């Protein structure tokens, strides 16, 4: 083992630990990796920044813009209207799966789930099924469909880019399609039968009628005419009468010890938790008032006080810039007029003032905003509007234009006229010029954390290959089963990728394992394509945890799921995909 191998493996191990523990943002970890490789001389300065000009990075950025164009033009929402025509739970799921099979292979998974989640929540109520029976399938099938094409997920493009840098000819637009279709058909059959039975029947997730996620935490101020004056919280029996529980009592800027035994005074603020309808009933009957000091103001002054207000629910989206911020700090960069009334956090009871709560991905904010703000709020990539959408953005000719543009981007690349990086860039420009999204929205549409992640980690793949670190890992892990033949080695590599993806970024897992796949093929003196396909499929389909893939995180809170629900439904599906991969990869891509 050389010094270079030790250093590269040390950097890779540190990156894995940081990704798994989430002590730092994933893009910050990627930049640390890049800087470490450059400072130690493991890559040249040109190789260190080559990730920013890599075709995979450029294509992913352009695909974000194309997905935003489809969403903003109303094209995806129009397709989603088909869900409302289903008349039974089985037909609803079948229709959903067919729509995803058409859309998800060509549109970013996160964008697909963000658009379809409110539609699914609303439609499930009309067919008489809980939304918890449909939201995990929405996430899973979007992943299954996404792996069917080269542009379906950023992971596919990333593996393709690294493989090209390491001397592999790369993959065609529909090279993944045969195995992807096999896995998707089997996966959909599983979700329609066994998986449907394993999914929880979570009544709290039926949002279309109640417009509620579950129990919210909010602040209630004791007014001068409140009936609770002179009583203690314990004597008021708010839990028994209203199903509302007081978590903290704040008097001025101080939290009062033992809130249940304190006699309530005018101006006291109760941090209370309960269903929103119960909280409203308590306010009306007991003379309390929402302590709405959490108003988020738009940067531009608007005279829209006479515009009707809308009560809506929004979820903090994966990789949202609001994640990690408090409402107080969020006010400085918030883009909409809104007043936050309450916060819901899955699996946790908040005990802080609303303005001091540090927001997390999956948090649901109940807020009021003006009707004129709702279209802009729906377009904001930092949040996902969960309330039922009463009015969709006007489509006109831009919706079909966006669809035709997307077809041309994929079609021209598929027949080999131009690389996907060029067609995707041209399509993004065309959608912008056509007004499918504003020029300023282009920068907001791109998830820069993913771009930095890809650009920062690509040099790690180069370093692992050039220093021999990938070969060293292969010899001391996969090499132990090499004597059993390439099929067994393929099964072990797929399983390694599967496990690694559940606990860290799927892109990071792909970067680490793609050079290992190439080195494995060199060791066995066989075609590297089967091993690269295994890495791609394992890293792009993560079902067993709510944190393994961003779409799982999105539906986790909205569906009222528990962590164990993903294990019950997703682990068998992961094992099914593993078996299918081991069987069909050698058939479709012989060693």
Q: Return per-residue pLDDT of the chain as tens, 591 residues.
A: 788 889 988 988 888 788 777 677 778 888 998 999 999 988 888 888 888 888 888 888 888 888 888 877 877 766 666 776 777 888 889 989 999 998 889 887 777 887 788 778 777 766 778 888 889 999 999 999 999 998 888 888 889 888 888 889 989 889 999 999 999 999 999 999 998 899 887 654 333 333 344 567 888 888 888 888 888 877 877 777 777 888 788 887 677 766 677 788 888 888 888 877 778 888 888 888 876 555 555 444 445 555 666 778 888 876 677 777 887 777 666 767 777 877 877 656 677 777 778 888 778 888 777 777 777 777 677 787 775 444 444 457 888 898 899 889 888 988 888 888 899 899 999 999 988 888 777 887 787 888 888 888 888 888 888 888 887 887 777 777 888 889 999 999 999 888 888 777 777 788 888 888 888 888 888 999 999 999 999 988 889 888 777 788 778 767 778 888 899 999 999 999 999 999 999 999 998
Distance CA 145, CA 541 (A): 10
Measured CA to CA in angstroms, residue 111 lies from 4, 193, 347, 514 at distances of 40, 27, 25, 26
pLDDT at residue 589, as a whole number: 94
Whether 518 and 531 have beta carbons less than 8 Å apart is answered as yes
Class (C level, CATH) for 212-290:
alpha beta
Integer Cα distance of 92 and 538 in angstroms: 28
Per the CB < 8 A criterion, the answer to whether 589 and 169 are in contact is no
pLDDT tens digits, one per residue of 307-326: 666 778 888 876 677 777 88
Contact present, 273 and 216 (Cβ < 8 Å): yes
Handedness of CA 50, 54, 56, 62 (dihedral sign): positive
| Fold type of domain 297-385 | Alpha-Beta Plaits (3.30.70)
Q: For position 244, what pLDDT does the model report?
A: 82
Bridge partners for 250 per DSSP: 255, 269
- Tokens at 475, concatenated: 């010899």
Q: How far apart, in Å, are the Cα atoms of 218 and each of 256, 331, 355? A: 17, 18, 11
Task: Give me the pLDDT at residue 555, please.
Answer: 83
297-385 has the same fold as 212-290: yes
Please provide residue 499's backbone torsions phi and psi, each rounded to the nearest 5 degrees. Answer: -70, -40
- Give one DSSP letter per residue of 107-176, joined into a string: S-HHHHHHHHHHHHHHHHHHTT--GGGTHHHHHHHHHHHHTTSTTSSHHHHHHHHHHHHTT-----TTTT
Residue-level pLDDT at 347: 59
Instruction: Report pLDDT digits (tens) over 516-551.
Output: 888 888 888 899 999 999 999 998 888 988 877 778
Residue 225, burial from CB neighbour count under 10 angstroms (0-12, 13-18, 19+): exposed
Query: In the prediction, which pLDDT does 318 show?
Result: 66
* Chain centroid, CA 332 distance in Å: 25
What's the pTM value of the predicted model, to 2 decimals?
A: 0.71
* pLDDT score for 578: 95
| Residue 143, pLDDT score | 92
DSSP string, 39-91: HTTSS-HHHHSHHHH-HHHHHHHHHHHHHHHHHHHTHHHHHHGGGGG--SHHH
CA distance readout (Å), 500 to 43, 165, 473, 496, 509: 25, 23, 15, 6, 6
What are the structural domain ranges in the chain? 3-204+405-588, 212-290, 297-385
Q: Which helix (H) or strand (E) covers residue 467, if one does? A: helix 448-467
CA distance 186 to 168: 30
The total of other beta-carbon atoms located within 10 Å of residue 490's CB is 24
């Amino acid at each position: 083992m050389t010094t270079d191998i030790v250093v590269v493996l040390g950097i890779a191990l540190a990156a894995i630990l940081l990704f798994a523990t989430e002590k730092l943002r994933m893009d910050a970890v990627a930049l640390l990796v890049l800087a470490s490789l450059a400072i130690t001389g493991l890559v040249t300065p040109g190789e260190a920044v080559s990730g920013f000009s890599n075709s995979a990075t450029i294509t992913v950025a352009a695909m974000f813009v194309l997905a935003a164009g489809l969403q903003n033009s109303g094209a995806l929402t129009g397709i989603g209207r088909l869900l409302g025509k289903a008349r039974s739970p089985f037909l609803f799921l079948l229709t959903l799966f067919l729509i995803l099979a058409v859309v998800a292979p060509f549109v970013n998974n996160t964008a697909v789930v963000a658009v379809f989640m409110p539609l699914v929540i609303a439609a499930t109520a009309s067919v008489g099924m809980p939304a918890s029976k449909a939201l995990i399938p929405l996430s899973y099938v979007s992943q299954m469909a996404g792996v069917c094409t080269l542009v379906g997920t950023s992971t596919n493009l990333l593996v393709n880019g690294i493989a090209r840098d390491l001397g592999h000819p790369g993959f065609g637009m529909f090279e993944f399609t045969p195995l992807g279709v096999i896995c998707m058909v089997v996966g959909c059959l599983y979700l329609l039968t066994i998986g449907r039975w394993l999914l929880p029947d979570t009544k709290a997730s039926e949002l279309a009628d109640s417009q509620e996620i579950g129990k919210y935490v909010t602040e209630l101020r004791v007014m001068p005419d409140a009936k609770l004056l002179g009583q203690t919280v314990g004597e008021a029996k708010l839990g028994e009468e209203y199903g509302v529980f007081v978590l903290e009592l704040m008097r001025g800027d101080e939290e009062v010890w033992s809130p249940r035994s304190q006699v309530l005074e005018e101006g006291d603020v109760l941090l209370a938790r309960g269903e929103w309808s119960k909280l409203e009933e308590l306010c009306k009957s007991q003379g309390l008032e929402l302590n709405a000091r959490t108003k988020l103001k738009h940067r531009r002054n608007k005279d829209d006080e006479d515009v009707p207000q809308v009560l809506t629910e929004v979820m903090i989206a994966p990789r949202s810039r609001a994640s990690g911020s408090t409402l107080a700090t969020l006010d400085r960069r918030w883009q909409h007029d809104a007043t936050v009334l309450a916060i819901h956090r899955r699996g946790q009871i908040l005990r802080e003032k609303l303005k001091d709560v540090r927001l997390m991905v999956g948090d649901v904010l109940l807020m009021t905003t003006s009707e004129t703000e709702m279209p802009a709020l729906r377009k904001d990539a930092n949040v996902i509007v969960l309330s039922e959408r009463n009015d969709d953005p006007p489509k006109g000719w831009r919706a079909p234009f966006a669809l035709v543009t997307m077809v041309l981007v994929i079609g021209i690349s598929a027949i080999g006229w131009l690389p996907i990086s060029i067609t995707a860039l041209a399509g993004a420009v065309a959608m912008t010029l056509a007004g499918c999204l504003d020029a300023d929205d282009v920068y907001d549409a791109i998830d820069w954390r993913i771009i930095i992640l890809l650009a920062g980690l690509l040099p790690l793949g180069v370093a692992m290959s050039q220093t021999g670190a990938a070969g060293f890992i292969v010899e001391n892990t996969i090499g132990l089963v090499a004597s059993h033949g390439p099929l067994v080695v393929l099964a072990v590599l797929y399983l390694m990728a599967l496990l690694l993806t559940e606990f860290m970024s799927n892109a990071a897992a792909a970067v680490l394992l793609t050079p290992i796949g190439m080195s494995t093929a060199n060791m066995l003196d066989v075609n590297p394509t089967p091993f690269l396909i295994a890495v791609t499929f394992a890293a792009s389909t993560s079902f067993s945890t709510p944190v393994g893939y961003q779409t799982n995180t999105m539906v986790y809170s909205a569906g009222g799921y528990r962590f164990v629900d993903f294990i019950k439904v997703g682990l068998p599906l992961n094992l099914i995909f593993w078996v299918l991969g081991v069987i069909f990869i050698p058939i479709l891509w012989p060693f």
